[in-house]
Amino acid sequence: MQYSRKFFSLLFAGMLAMASASCSAESGAPAAAGMVDSKLTEKNINAELKKAYDKYKGLKEGANADYIPALDKVDSNIFGIVLVTVDGKVYSVGDITSEVSIQSISKVFTMALVTEEKGTALLPENVGVDATGQVFNSIHAIEQYQGHEMNPLVNAGAITTTSLVEGKSYNEIWNKILNYYGEFAGRELTVLEDIYKSEAATNQRNQAIAHLMYAYGHIEGDPLQATDIYTRQCSVGVNAKDLAVMASTLANAGTNPVTGKDLVKPADIPEILAVMATAGLYDDAGKWLYKTGLPAKSGVGGGIIAISPGKFGIAAISPPLDAAGNSVRAQKAIADISAALGGNPYEVQPYGK
Ligand code: DON
């Protein structure tokens, strides 16, 4: 296992080096990937981050989430953007130290944990990997197919995914989740207790969702324990740099490019990114993918991460959200920056041109 991860890392590094070369060895034609990658220079990245930050810092659209009372009290002016390339270089602009709660972005990393523990077959079978087209905490979506045909990034699928993390006790499961998130961020993370308490006091809808998933046989253990651990994972504090390093680990085939730690098998990354692409921004996932081509995930704390596979991970934090629960400024900033830097994985040139 160790050997094969190393092998993939080397292979991946080799592929990147080839992509950066200006011409292909045999035909002399420019390498398409190299042409796109040539936009990823230090100067370009810093310029595009600054441009997006200046363009959107005064934008006042959207509002903080308030169905979790403590989220309404978070400073709406927090705005930071960080991009981390797969060689571990960190580029940032704006507020990169203020922490917000990770919220639904956590779902990606618990999905990764369960995928690593149990393999790629379990989650599609248990909760599904299809976009629901419904709000993220839809009960209707559960009822439609008795808890199937959903995905690990909506609340029902996410609480079920959390219930699948292996461990003998609440604390063992929780510590494993928290430590795993910390490995992605490259530092120890902690829970924002005010957010946790506020959500735990008002999460009756999620408790109902967990009970339904239990009733339909998707959750096997205690549904209230799963809901509480899920609530705690959503309350983990992260800044824009943490989120970008987490995103860059997914962009870098599962190895944290800053710490060098292997966290997800390279072979499992495409499945995780596929679910992010179809369901990461919920009922607006299609609009987002149409515009950017990037697998992404939002959280009602105001963060969004997006992945340009093999190139970079990017994150932005800004608490005011649109009607679908996605940060207004973070969506706009990430979309602009990625477009300018050639981040869309679907954007290729005809061969030889
Ligand atoms: O369960 C909830 O409602 C929150 N803890 C997370 C929701 C969320 O972040 C949706 N994302 N945009």
Contacts of 159 (CB under 8 A, 6+ apart): 206, 209, 210, 213, 219, 223, 226, 227, 230
CA of residue 103 to ligand 1 center, whole Å: 5
Residue 81 CA to residue 108 CA, distance in Å, equals: 20
Q: Tens digit of pLDDT for each residue in 268-312?
A: 999 999 999 999 998 899 999 999 999 999 999 999 999 999 999
pLDDT at 133: 87
Q: Of the residues 191, 196, 234, which should be mutated to test ligand 1's pocket, given the most ligand atoms within 8 Å of the CB?
A: 234
Cβ 151 under 6 angstroms from ligand 1: no
Instruction: Give yes or no for a contact between 216 and 145, defined as CB atoms under 8 angstroms apart.
Output: no
Q: Tens digit of pLDDT for each residue in 8-18?
A: 444 444 444 33
Assign 3-state DSSP to the chain and report helix, strand, coil percentages, each to 5. Answer: 50, 10, 40
Residue 102 CA to residue 239 CA, distance in Å, equals: 9
Instruction: Give yes or no for a contact between 278 and 133, defined as CB atoms under 8 angstroms apart.
Output: no
**Helix 155-163, helix 223-234: angle, nearest 10:** 110
CA of residue 138 to ligand 1 center, whole Å: 11
Q: Of the residues 134, 300, 318, 331, which should be mutated to test ligand 1's pocket, given the most ligand atoms within 8 Å of the CB?
A: 300
Query: Residue 235 CA: which ligand 1 atom is closest?
Result: 5
Tell me the C-alpha to C-alpha distance, in Å, between residue 156 and each of 24, 44, 207: 48, 41, 10
Record the pTM: 0.90
Contacts of 274 (CB under 8 A, 6+ apart): 129, 295
CA of residue 285 to ligand 1 center, whole Å: 15
Q: Tens digit of pLDDT for each residue in 200-237?
A: 999 999 999 999 999 999 999 999 999 999 999 999 99
CA of residue 199 to ligand 1 center, whole Å: 10
Q: What is the largest CA-CA distance in the chain?
A: 64
Q: Tens digit of pLDDT for each residue in 323-348?
A: 999 999 999 999 999 999 999 999 99
CA of residue 328 to ligand 1 center, whole Å: 16
Cβ 303 under 6 angstroms from ligand 1: no
